[in-house]
Amino acid sequence: MSTVKLGTQWFDYADVLVDVMIGYACNVQCDFCSVTDQMREENMPLASVMAILSDARARGATKVAFGGGEPTIRKGLLPLVRWCRDRGYRSIKLPSNGLMYSYKEYAREAVDAGVTDFNLSLMAHTDALYARIMGRPDAFALVNQGVQNLVALKQQPIGDLIVKHDTWMHLADSVEYWAGMGVRRFNLWLVSLSDRNKDNLESLLPVSTMRDGIFAAFERGKQLGVTVLSRHIPLCLLPGHAEHMADLREDRVLVVSPRASFALWESKISPSAYTAKCAGCVHQHGICLGLRRDYLDRYGDGELVPEYATAAARAPSAA
Amino acid sequence: MSQTQIDTLDAATSTMTLSLDMGLYPRDVLYAAAYVFLDRAYVLLDRVDSRYVVHLRGKQKLDETALRAMAGEFSNELLAQALRLRVAKANQKIIEDITTLAIAGAGGMPSGDRDPALVDLDQPGEDGFLDDPLGIAEPWEAKKKDAAS
């Protein structure tokens, strides 16, 4: 059994999810997407992907994800999934916008090939908002059909919801809508001001402005018996909701992209920055990974309310 | 200063230090050339200013003649590895294509109409894996190109 270094720690490959960014090409252009035109042209050659996965499997890896871009538009993806399954990968995750699953045959092929985790980016709960965000008029209908197809195949898709200026107030309704379609688990992701989206400042509002919508989503999830987790927002910005905080490190994701390999929580679109105010907070280096740098650059740390164990632990700069 | 030269040579300890111009040889070439000598010498690679420095100590007793011969062989190996790197780069695409076919074949990948290559952005209709009557798999780049033309 081999180990791999993620951040400052070493992990067994068996515990690590190898997340291969097979390419950034996509079939839609969402209005908050951070992938630039240049990145969209970057694709990993299939031989490289297979070599990486062969090596990781030989070292004991059993979990793989194929990211992008939109992986389902890549010809040869499902044979690659099958190839992974036949070589002992037991967990195969496929994050997607869900459009391709609207073809019943494609959904069935994906299940047959061995995809075990269907993560779907669910933009909204209405036709108009979906079309505006994704730029495709029939997107909502197609994703609905895709979710139906997956659920009919006894899959439990996971919903990834983006938190931004025009979605935060609808998060609870989105959770309810998609829960009604059979989605039992949701992740909330804060929109990122990076790369292509870096100048789209209006897309990212202060968490304190969007907090009510996030809390409503947590509450609606509880009422409906589905799980809603926040993956990018520090606990002190969502006080009283520790049970809804996901720790990105628990997934132990090794991202392999055309440009580099790194731990997911070290990515520039992951929270990784503490401020002086955080020194002495009981959650620092614990459940809280800090703030995302783009958020900090935009809004500073004024909203943070660290939880100090004692008055003595309070950072001087925060006094 | 020459491009590759013997900086020090000590037959009493069978050691020698070579230095070479960093601008002339990529680091990978140096590694590859040094690797060839592992069975005959202990090798330490270093860098001083703009030159790589190679410390060699013979595993067997080497006199001055043998050390100078080894220096000459090292220079030749650098050239050979530089050429190999250039050839490998020139043929990288074809090597990848052949390797893909080989691995895919060994892995029982479908062939023929299930070509495991990438979506061809210049021919978005040729995505090939399934019928796509709604054009869902068509990359956005292609749509953008269509819209512009």
Per-residue pLDDT, B88: 81
Pairing of strands A3-6, A63-67: unpaired
- Enumerate the H helices of B91-137 as residue ranges: 92-106
* Global model pTM greater than 0.95: no
* Among A307, A282, A318, A304, residue whose Cα is nearest residue A237: A304
| DSSP-based three-state secondary structure for B9 | strand
**Nearest partner of A151 among A114, A186, A121, A111, judged by Cα:** A111
Contacts of B125 in chain A (CB under 8 A): none
**pLDDT value at position B122?**
43
- B11 by Cβ neighbours in 10 Å (0-12 / 13-18 / 19+) ranks as middle
Are A232 and A190 spatial neighbours (Cβ–Cβ below 8 Å)? Answer: yes
Pairing of strands A185-190, A158-163: parallel
Beta carbons of A99 and B114 less than 8 Å apart: no
Does pLDDT of B124 surpass 50?
no
B138 CB within 8 Å of a chain A CB: yes
Contacts B121 to A, Cβ<8 Å: 25, 41
Owner of token pair 């997607």: A96
In this complex, is the C-beta atom of B109 within 8 Å of any C-beta atom belonging to chain A?
Answer: yes
Q: Which residues have CB under 8 Å from B138's CB, separation 6+?
A: A27, A73, B124, B125, B127, B132
Alpha-carbon gap: A79 to the closest alpha carbon of chain B (Å): 6
> Taking CB atoms and an 8 Å limit, are A79 and B119 in contact across chains?
no
Which of A23, A72, A86 shows the shortest C-beta gap to B107? A86
Judge whether residue A241 has pLDDT over 50: yes
Which amino acid appears at position A51 of this protein?
A: A
Top residue of B122, B140, B144, B145 to mutate, by most chain A CBs within 10 Å, is B140
Query: Least CA distance to B109: which residue of chain A?
Result: A79
| pLDDT at residue number A167 | 98
Determine the residue among A22, A49, A75, A143 to mutate to test chain B binding: the one whose Cβ has the most chain B Cβ atoms within 10 Å: A75
Q: Is B84 left (phi over 0), alpha (psi -120 to 50) or beta?
A: alpha
Q: Chain-wide mean pLDDT for chain A?
A: 90
| Residue A231 or A268, more confident | A231
Chain B residues lying within 8 Å of A48, measured CB to CB: 96
Among A64-73, A196-205, B72-81, B135-144, which stretch is predicted with the lowest mean pLDDT?
B135-144
Residue B114 clears pLDDT 60, i.e. is over it: no
Best interface-test mutation with A: which of B113, B136, B138, B143 has the largest number of A CBs within 10 A?
B136
